[in-house]
Copies of this chain bind each other. A is one copy, B any other.
Amino acid sequence: MSATGRNDAAALAALLRDLADRRAIEDALIAYAHALDTRDYPRLRECLAADVRVRYGGSSWLEGVEPVAQFCARALDSLDASQHRIGSVAVKLERSRAASVSYLCAEHLKDGRRFTVGGRYVDQWTRTLAGWRIAQRELVILWTDGDPRVLAGPERP
């Protein structure tokens, strides 16, 4: 193989790894959303780094995998159904770190009532031996619609 051919091959391999990494991060965003909607908390935990920090809509930071999983379970387990639609994903890679911004439109259903949350996930990622994990997640809520009592847990008024 000529030097030119080797350089081309190296550039193509780098391009392929970039595409594959960005696809893997988008896959993890989607896996997280599907896990929420199927109440698959083991799968949810697999999307999170051990030292993950998460903040939803200006609340205080949750620290660690269990607090995040428990927060999600408390919010979702009393619903009849939910649908977390994720899209418009932008990813920036930097070696074993990444940042993404994605759009969320989340439906929450209970007793025939619906509450919709539109927002922006601003995420930091870390690459582990088992794949990309969310290291930090902030949900910026842009708008809501419907009946907010749908999301109120039993402990809330």
Residues in chain A within 8 A of chain B (CB atoms): 1, 8-9, 12-13, 15-16, 19-20, 22-23, 27, 30-31, 33-34, 37, 81-90, 101, 103, 105, 107, 109, 114, 118, 120, 142-143, 145
Contacts and interface: CB of A to CB of B under 8 A. Distances in A.
Contacts of A109: 142-143
Contacts of A118: 83, 107
Taking each of A19, A82, A84, which has the highest tally of chain B beta carbons within 10 Å of its own beta carbon?
A19
Given A23-B19, A103-B85, A30 B142 contact: no
A148 B89 CA distance: 28
A-side binding surface: helix, strand, loop or mixed?
strand
Given A34-B101, A83-B142, 6 more contacts: A16-B19, A19-B19, A19-B23, A37-B120, A81-B143, A84-B88
A145 B114 contact: yes
A105 to B, nearest CB: 6
Copies of the polypeptide in the assembly: 3
Contacts of A37: 120, 142
B20 A90 contact: no
A99 to B, nearest CB: 13
B90 A87 contact: no
